[in-house]
Amino acid sequence: MKRAIGAVAVLGVFLSCCLFAQASAEQPLLPDLTGRWITVQHLETYALLPLIGEIRITTTIALYSDVVQHGATLTLTDAYCFTDVGVSTDLFATDVPDAVMQSLHSDPRQAELVADSERISLIQDWHTEVRGAELDDPVHDPLPISPSDPRLVDQEGDGEMGITIPVELVGLLSGETYATQRFRYRLEGNLIDADTITGYVEWTTEQSLVGATDALFFMPYTQYTDPDPEKHRFVMMRVDEAWDCETARTALDALLGTLYGLPDPGHPEIAGETPAAP
C-alpha cells in the first residue's frame, strides 16, 4: 500500500511539473518596464461652432511617465510637456499654452500587463484628470460654471481662475477663455518590444467656461469625439533621463510615425518601429 501511495505521489509531482512547464511556455516572462517613458497621444474630435459650423480638431499630447513595476502592475507618474491643436479651418484658431500643460500634476495611474502565448498587452482602466478646479469627486462632481465658485484654481498661475485658452475668430476677434476641463481616458496596447508600446485610446472630454475676454466666446457649442476608434492612438517609448520637453518636440514626428502601422482595434497583431532618439 505504501508503495502504491508513493507511486501516486511521484506521478502527481511529475504531472504538476509538466503542467507548470507547459504554462510557462505559454505565458512569456514579463519584461521590466520600470524607468522613464515618453507617451504621445493622437486624438480627433469634431466641434460645431457658432458662426463657423462644424470643424475637425486634432489634438496631440506629449508627456513623460516615471514607471514603477510590481509584478504585472505598473504605476505611472506623469509630467506633461505640451498639447498641439490643429483645426480644419482657417477661420478659427486655438491653442493650449505649454504653461498650462506643464502645470498639471495628475494623480498616478495604474496599468496591468496581460500576457498570453502571442503577445503582451498593456491595459489601463479609466483615469480622470480635472484641470482648473479641485473637485471632491473628480469623476462625478459637476464642473464649475461660475467665476466665483470656490473650487476654481489658477491652474498655471497667470492671475486668472481656471485654465487660460487663447482663441481667435480670424479677421473678427481674438482673446482668451477661462475654463475648467475633465479629461478621462483608458489605454489598450501591445508591446512591440521591451522599449515600445503602441495602441488605442478611448477617451471623453468635458469643458465649462467660467470667463472670457468677450461675450462672443460664451456662445454655446457642441463637441464630440470621432466615433472611429482607429483615430485615437498612443505610443510609449522608453527614454533616458536626458530627454526633456524640447527633446520630445524634436522627436514628435518620429513618435507619431509609429502609429501608422496599427491595425484595426479589434485585430490582435500590432506592427510598428521604434523611432530613434534625436
Q: pTM for the full model?
A: 0.82
pLDDT in tens, 17-60: 443 334 444 556 899 999 999 999 999 999 998 889 999 999 99
pLDDT in tens, 177-187: 999 999 999 99
**82 and 52 belong to one structural domain:** yes
Candidates 276, 244, 278; CA nearest to 258 is 276
**4 and 129 belong to one structural domain:** no
The Cα–Cα gap between 98 and 82 comes to: 5
pLDDT in tens, 108-163: 999 999 998 889 999 999 999 999 999 999 999 999 999 999 999 999 999 999 99
Question: Is 195 among the domain residues?
Answer: yes
Residue 262: which pLDDT band, with cuts at 50, 70 and 90?
low
pLDDT of 199 strictly over 90:
yes
**19 and 46 belong to one structural domain:** no
Which helix (H) or strand (E) segment holds residue 12: the answer is: helix 2-26
**36 and 26 belong to one structural domain:** no
Quote the cell numbers at residue 267: 485585430
**125 and 14 belong to one structural domain:** no
The Cα–Cα gap between 134 and 137 comes to: 9
More confident residue, 10 or 229: 229
What residue numbers bound the domain in which 18 lies? 1-30
